[in-house]
Amino acid sequence: MAPRHNRGVPDDPLVLVPLVAWLATGLAAVALTPRQGAARALCAAGVLIFAAWMLEEVAVAAVETGAGNAVLNAVADGVFVAKTAAVIALLALMPTGRFTRRWHGWLVVAAAATSVLSTFLRVVGSARIDVASEPSLAVTNPHAIAALADAGALGEALVDAEPLLFLAGIAMLAHRWWRERQHRPVLGRMLLGIGALAVLLVLVVLGESTSLPHLVPQHLFLLALASFPVLLLVDLSAQARALQRELSESRARIVTAEDQARRSIERDLHDGVQQQLVGILTLTELAARQSRRDPAASSATLDEIRDEVQAAISGLRELVSGIRPPALADGGLPAALNDRFARLQESVTLEVSQSAAGHRWPPQVEAALYFVACEAVTNALKHAPSSMVRISLTATERGPLLQVADTGPGVTTARPGAGLRGMQDRIESLGGRFELASASGGTVLTASVPGEPV
């Protein structure tokens, strides 16, 4: 996306405008959101675009003065390809800063590997190395090994394939626009911007290389190219503000939920266990008086006291189970899930991978996934009593991954309810990911929380 050197067109100072725009917006994005993946990709793209142009200008100037350097030419083209890898990463990470598909990351890795591999293969195998795809700028490579000429040809082919890498990035962006409805406005603006740049570039090239009239001046294309990263920075800023609002709202909901939970525990203790203990105390005093006058009645009262104590213990166990089930603390997440849904085997199926069956994670991670599973199953059976629910738990490199899929009618409301919002807050408060995919065939809830096995 950066203009390359063209010996047929005189250098234009306006070329610096998009270069500086990309570099400045990248630095601004990192300053705004230093931990955001898309901001880092924008910064890397800006730095590499500027570096590629600088290296290319230095390499071309060296060739024109008779001091050309083959390694410098190869490095300049390698950085130009690396710039494409950074742009692809930017297209994959906007606007959330995370890869939504694993193959997006592999595409970025492949593009970055292409830049390194092409540079190395050209240095060790190409007898002559040009820069900017200009054969007239080729210089002799003293480091070339004759037996590796085929490797050098492969390196040249990889450099020439740079436009194909960029097209693959655009195809990936179009695929994201089609699949990711939540981010479709941002992705759509990016597609429109790239499409407009492509049309302007074609018109500029036709005007420069053919006898057709100059329908679009080169200055207009350069200004459009400079405005594209500004558009990305605006979207990143809006995303940062939206995340800040969501974070504030999430914290407020968490505080409210904790306050409600405390009040609920207070009511349960006051109306349940406390009243039982007061009744037990009264019965104890009665048994003490009866023991002196009527031993038989005292024995019956003691039996009643024993029943009340057992009832109080059961109440306390139920209360503690609602806070943190004993099975979760003793046997871990798989055991707690199996204990919770054992009586619902006709409707609920639990699948635990072998790796997850032998793992324990931090208590807060296990508790979060446990209560999310309970809430998800409760919602599924409440809204679709006849549906089948499948719970799967697997262990990944980042931590446990929980999926709850049902065969119900799907979520019919656009806005999440308090239950879904509470689950999402619980997962995201631990740095995890919460996704809900709903269609006519059912709903799939996916929750993952980073955590090392303990």
> 231 CB contacts (<8 Å, ≥6 apart)?
189, 190, 193
**Residue 308: per-residue pLDDT:** 74
Contacts of 129 (CB under 8 A, 6+ apart): 70, 71, 73, 74, 122, 123, 138, 139, 141
DSSP string, 51-83: HHHHHHHHHHHHHHTT---HHHHHHHHHHHHHH
Query: Do 331-448 and 13-249 have the same topology in CATH?
Result: no
Stated length of the chain:
454
Pairing of strands 389-395, 400-406: antiparallel
Annotation: CATH topology of 331-448: Heat Shock Protein 90 (3.30.565)
Give CA torsion, residues 251, 255, 258, 260, to 10 deg. -130
Q: How deeply is 301 buried, as exposed, middle or buried, from its count of CB atoms within 10 A (0-12, 13-18, 19+)?
A: buried
List of the chain residues with pLDDT < 50: 2, 5-10, 414
pLDDT of residue 66: 85
pTM exceeds 0.75 for this model:
no
Which among 223, 238, 241, 249 is positioned nearest to 185, based on CA atoms? 238
**Which residue, among 104, 105, 100, 54, has the nearest Cα to 79 in the 3D structure?**
54
Domain ranges (residues) in the chain: 13-249, 251-326, 331-448
CATH assignment of 13-249, among 3.10.50, 1.20.120, 1.20.1070, 3.30.43: 1.20.1070
**Cβ(39)–Cβ(33) under 8 Å?**
yes
pLDDT at 115: 94
